[in-house]
Chain A
C-alpha cells in the first residue's frame, strides 16, 4: 500500500517535471536568465549542453529523485565539472551505513591552535579558495575564561602557538541530533542523514540563509559568488551530499567528510591533527574510541542549554 502510493507519487512527480520542462522551454527568456545564473564558474566559457542545463535547472529534490534520476544527475554533474574545471571528478552517492551514528570528541587540553585541521579540511572538501571558505574556526582565548566575545579568531601565523597565556577551541558543525538549521530551511534542502550528519542538496538550496541564522555554532557558510577552485587544488573523489564543488549562491557546511567516513575512513581534520586531539567514531559501537572518551572523560558540549543535542563533545585530561 505504502509502496504503491510512493511509486504513484514518484510517477506523478516525473510527469509534473516533464510538464514543467515543456513550460520552461517555452518561456525562453526566464529559462535563459535562470541558466545563466545556474552554471558555476564563468558561464560564457564553459561548454555545457542545453539538455544538461535544462536537466540541472529542473532537477528534483534529492530525496524525491528516483534511482535513475539520481544516476542522471550524478553524470550531469560530472560532465559539468569536466567542462568547468577540466578535471575528471567522480561524484558518488553512497548511502549511510546501517548501525552507524557519527560522533566527534575534541580534547581541548591537546589542541594547541596549529590550525592544521582547517587546512586539511579545505584541501579535502573543495571549498572556494577566493573568497575563502573554511568549515572550522579556531578560537584563541585567555586562560581562565571562556568568553567568546573576547576570543581571537584571527591569531596570526607569525607567532608561535600555543601562547603561554592562551587556550584554543576549534568549532565546526556539531551535527546536532535536533538540528535547528534543518527546521529553518523553507525547502528542506538540508536534512539529517541516518548516520547523523546534516547534509545539503546544493542543487536544491535557494540561498535564503535562514539556516545560517538558526545555527548556534556559526557552522554554515555561503557562496557569495561562484567559488574559485584552482584545477590543481581539486579533490576528485567526491560525494553528492558532501564535497563536490559547490556553486554560486548556496550554503555549505562541514559534513564530517562524508565521502571518506562512510567508507570507514577518518575525516580529514582528525587525520591532520598533529596532537591527536580529535577522536572520531561510531556512537553506536560500545567499543569505539568515541564511546570510551564520552564514558570515561569529563566532557562538555557548547551551548548544550539550547537542546540541539550536538554530537560534538569537548573533553580534557
Chain B
C-alpha cells in the first residue's frame, strides 16, 4: 500500500508550483507536441524527411544519442563520491544526478528509435520473441546496457526516496551493491557506445582505440557541467539549497576531464596529420576541408575554441568559483562537447564514404524539430523527477504528513 501512497504523493507534488514552474513545463510540453507531430510525418513517409543519405546514413539523431549516453554516464561522477567515499555534499545531491541519468538514458532510447527505419519492428530486438545477434552486434550490447542502466538509476533512488518517505532505514548493503554496479555500468554504457563506432574498420576515422577513453573524458566534462547548471537553477528556485562545496567538487571534475579530453584531441590531431595517409581523409575533411568541401570546419574549431575558453575560466580559481563565469564555462563545455561528438565525430566518419565519395550532410529542420521534441521529453522527465525528489529529500514530504 505504501508504494501507491508514495507514487500518488509524488504525482501530487508535480501539480504544485509557481508561475515560473508552469511556464517552464508548458513550454516543454509545446516543444514535445511539435516534436511528436513532426515525427508522425516521418513515420508516415519514412526517413526521407531527414537530411540523411546513403552516403551519410546517420545524422543528428545518432549524434544526440552519442552525446546523451555520455550525459547519462556522467551521473557516476557523483555516485562515486556519495556512496563510495561518503562525501556528505555529494550524498545530498546524488539523487538529482541519478535523475539526470534516467532522463538522458530515456532520450538515448528515443533518439535510437526515431533513427530506425522500422520502429514498428522494435520487437525484433527483444530477447526470446525477437532474434538478437548477441554478442556479435555492438548495437545489441548498447540496447542491453542502456536498458540496464536506466533500470538501475530508477531503482536505486526510488528505493532510497521510498524509504525516506516511509521514514524507514534502508538496507545500506543493498544500496552500496547497486551503486557499485551502476558505477561500472556507467563506464560500460559509454565504452560500448564508443565501440559501436570504433568496431567499424570500414571507417578509419572511427576505428581508433582512443575513442572509448575520449568519450568518457568528454562525458565527464559535459555531464557534470550540465549538472552544475541544473543545480544553479534549482538553487535559484529556492527549493533546495545546494552547497558551494558540491559545486566546487563538480567544477574540479569538469576541469580535469576537460584537460584530458583536450589532450586526447591533440594526440589524435598529431597521429592523423604527422604522417597523413588515406585513413586521415575524414580528419582532413573535418579540420581543413577535403577537395573543396568544408562544411564542418567552422563547427570543429568553434567546439575547440569553446573548450579552450572554458578551460581557461575553470583553471583560474577566481573565475571557477565565481557563479557567473562558472556558468559561462559550463555552458561552453556542454555546447562544445555536443558539437565535438556530433559534428566533430559522428558525421565526419561518413565523409568521404568508404569508396571515396565526398557527400556532405546538414541536419534539416525536420531533424532539428524531432530532436528538440526529444530534448523536451527528457527535460520534462528530469524536471518531474527532481520536483518529486526534492521535498522527500528535504524531509518535507513524508508518509506520516
Contacts and interface: CB of A to CB of B under 8 A. Distances in A.
Interface string B21-51: 0000000000000000000000111111010
Interface residues of B, number: 56
Given A16-B128, A149-B358, A224-B48, A206 B137 contact: no
A142 to B, nearest CB: 13
B143 A37 contact: no
A35 B115 CA distance: 19
Interface in B119-137: 119-125, 128-133, 136-137
Interface stretch (A106-114, A212-220, A276-284): A212-220
A180 B118 contact: no
Contacts of A183: 133, 136-137
A61 interface: yes
Interface string A41-58: 000000000000000010
A184 B356 contact: no
A189 B124 CA distance: 9
Contact of A209 (B58, B123, B129, B356): B58
Given A221-B54, A224-B47, A184 B137 contact: yes
Contacts of B50: 224
Contact of A249 (B46, B122, B138, B353): B46
Interface string B342-353: 000000010011
A225 B48 contact: yes
A258 interface: no
A183 to B, nearest CB: 5
A148 B355 contact: yes
Contact of A204 (B52, B58, B121): B121
Contacts of A187: 121, 124-125, 130-133, 137
Interface stretch (B200-208, B228-236, B263-271, B378-386): B200-208
Contacts of A216: 201-202, 354
A122 to B, nearest CB: 15
B154 interface: no
Given A16-B129, A151-B356, A36 B44 contact: yes
Nearest to B43: A37
A225 B45 contact: yes
Contacts of A188: 131-133
Contacts of A131: 48
B249 interface: no
B116 A207 contact: yes
A214 B254 CA distance: 34
B118 A207 contact: yes
B352 A210 contact: no
Interface in A174-201: 180, 183-189
A20 B133 CA distance: 21
A34 B202 contact: no
Given A180-B201, A186-B140, A217-B354, A206 B54 contact: no
B169 interface: no
B37 to A, nearest CB: 14
Contacts of B278: 147, 149
Nearest to B203: A213
Contact of B357 (A16, A35, A36, A153): A153
B133 A185 contact: yes
B202 A180 contact: yes
A208 interface: yes
A64 B131 contact: yes
Nearest to B54: A221
Contacts of A226: 45-46
A89 interface: no
A210 B120 contact: no
A249 B118 contact: yes
A35 B129 CA distance: 19
Nearest to B122: A206
A242 to B, nearest CB: 19
Interface in A24-42: 33-38
Contacts of A225: 45-48
Contact of B354 (A139, A209, A210, A218): A218
Nearest to A35: B120
B132 A186 contact: yes
Contacts of B112: 208
Contact of B46 (A189, A220, A223): A223
Given A186-B143, A206-B117, A139 B356 contact: yes
Interface string B91-123: 000000000000000000000100111111111
Contacts of A61: 124, 131
Interface in A116-140: 131, 137, 139
A250 interface: yes
B133 A248 contact: no
A113 to B, nearest CB: 15
A215 B354 contact: yes
B202 A215 contact: yes
Most A-side CB within 10 Å, residue of B123, B196, B278, B290? B123
A205 interface: yes
Nearest to A212: B57
A35 B43 CA distance: 11
B275 interface: no
Contact of A139 (B48, B139, B140, B355): B355
Contacts of B52: 224
Interface in A220-247: 220-226
9 contacts: A38-B120, A137-B355, A149-B356, A151-B356, A183-B133, A185-B137, A187-B133, A207-B117, A209-B57
Give 5 closest A-B pairs by Cβ, nearest first.
A207-B117, A148-B356, A249-B117, A34-B120, A216-B202
Given A33-B120, A207-B47, A250-B117, 5 more contacts: A38-B120, A149-B291, A183-B136, A184-B137, A188-B132
